[in-house]
Amino acid sequence: YSYSDYIRVKNMISQGGPGQGPRTMGYNSIASSGKILETNTENLLRMVSYCENEVDCRRFLQLVHLGEKFDSTNCKKTCDNCSSSKTLIDKDVTLIARQLVQLVKLTVERFSSAHIVEVYRGSLNQAVKKNRHDSLHLHGAGKHLSKSEASRILHYLVTQDILEEVVKKSDVYGSVSSLLKVNRSKAASLLSGGQTITMRFPSAVKVLKPSKSGATSGKAPLKQTTLQMANAPPQYLIFSDIMLKALKKLRTDIIKESSDLTMSYHIFGNATLKQISKRLPRTKKELLDINGLGKAKVVKYGDRLLETIESTINEHCKTGKNESFSLGKRRRDENICPNLADDDDDDDDPDWSLSQSHKKTVKNK
């Protein structure tokens, strides 16, 4: 299976069949009629969804489609998904989905899904530069995603009819191309915050003890591969919350200053602000390492973000000894901010510890 198969078959469906001769004209006109075309397209999208499903039991999906009941525990690892030893994790991809829909709108609905993925992941290829899409504020917003992950989320939006893929055949070259369009009636709920999208992804951690039944039930507890914030020192958690509130206030101020109807996630998503509150970037270069901050956003809002981070740190860490909290003084030392100090060595926790570039030994005075 390849997603290009979907484009080819959809073009055939829209044309009413593989042939356009006199004998097939009657069939083509019937097959291209609204109701039948809609049904054929819906069935095709179901097939795409089935092919790209790397989680659920294949036999279960097939038999449910045929109107039969099947307990996936009876599969006993006879399908590729049930026999897989991958650990699965649930991920909320609502923000990513919104950004992809917004990106389709920003590109005036004139580009393919492959191009949208390239722009979203921050590519600087010839097509991106030619159309000046590297200047869009969402350029690079998905650089933390692999190409397959971004493509899968985009394809999911197509199968859910939030995005529509319009297939066209060139009269000159005979080649088939597709353009993404936004289904505004279906996308409205997602863009307004009324809809959340959760998808399952394989993690890098293998299952040590697979279930005896070997079925992907969907109800089994999922192992999380990322370290939880519960492992962080309590002082750091408190400060992270304080920083998050300050960043959200900055976002609110920016929205109020905006002349158009800007949504909060257009400025900074909640996940982006949480990441900033944990990592505490101090330069624009470090801001670019934050998921959801592309070059355009850093240029536009970088100074205000850094100013907010600096002022919040200084305000929180005043001790009467002129001990302004500096990331260059992050070592467990009597000169660092006492509210953030902790006796345990937590530098190995990537979720809340500062980046290695910040950890400099303090010179003894």
* Lowest-confidence region among 39-43, 77-81, 189-193: 39-43
Binning pLDDT at 50, 70 and 90, where does residue 247 land? very high
Residue-wise pLDDT for 177-223, tens only, equals 788 999 999 999 999 989 999 988 877 544 334 444 444 444 344 33
Quick one: pLDDT at residue 220?
40
Check pLDDT > 80 for residue 114: yes
pLDDT score for 94:
95
Judge contact between 242 and 316, C-beta under 8 A: yes
Cα(first)–Cα(last) distance of the chain, in Å? 66
In this structure, the strands spanning 86-92 and 163-169 are: unpaired
Would you list the domain boundaries of the chain?
1-52, 85-212, 229-358
User: pLDDT, tens digit, for every residue of 200-210?
Assistant: 887 754 433 44
Average pLDDT, the chain: 74
Tokens found for residue 46:
């179901």
pLDDT at 318 over 70: no
How many angstroms separate the CA atoms of 351 and 340, rounded? 16
Rounded CA separation 94/19 (Å): 41
Q: Which fold is adopted by the domain 85-212?
A: Arc Repressor Mutant, subunit A (1.10.10)
Mean pLDDT of 108-137: 92
Is domain 229-358 given the CATH code 3.20.20.70 in the classification? no
Alpha carbons 106 and 116: distance in angstroms, whole number: 10
Average pLDDT over residues 162-176: 71
Residue 59 near residue 71, CB atoms below 8 Å: no
CB-hemisphere CA count at 13 Å for 77?
A: 9
* Predicted TM-score of the model (pTM): 0.47
Summarize pLDDT for 3-35 with one digit per residue, the tens.
778 888 888 887 765 444 444 444 445 445 667
The reported pLDDT for the residue numbered 38 is 73
pLDDT of 324 > 60? The answer is no
In angstroms, the Cα distances linking 233 to 329, 339, 344, 351, 355 are 18, 11, 8, 12, 17
> Is the pLDDT higher at 162 or at 37?
162
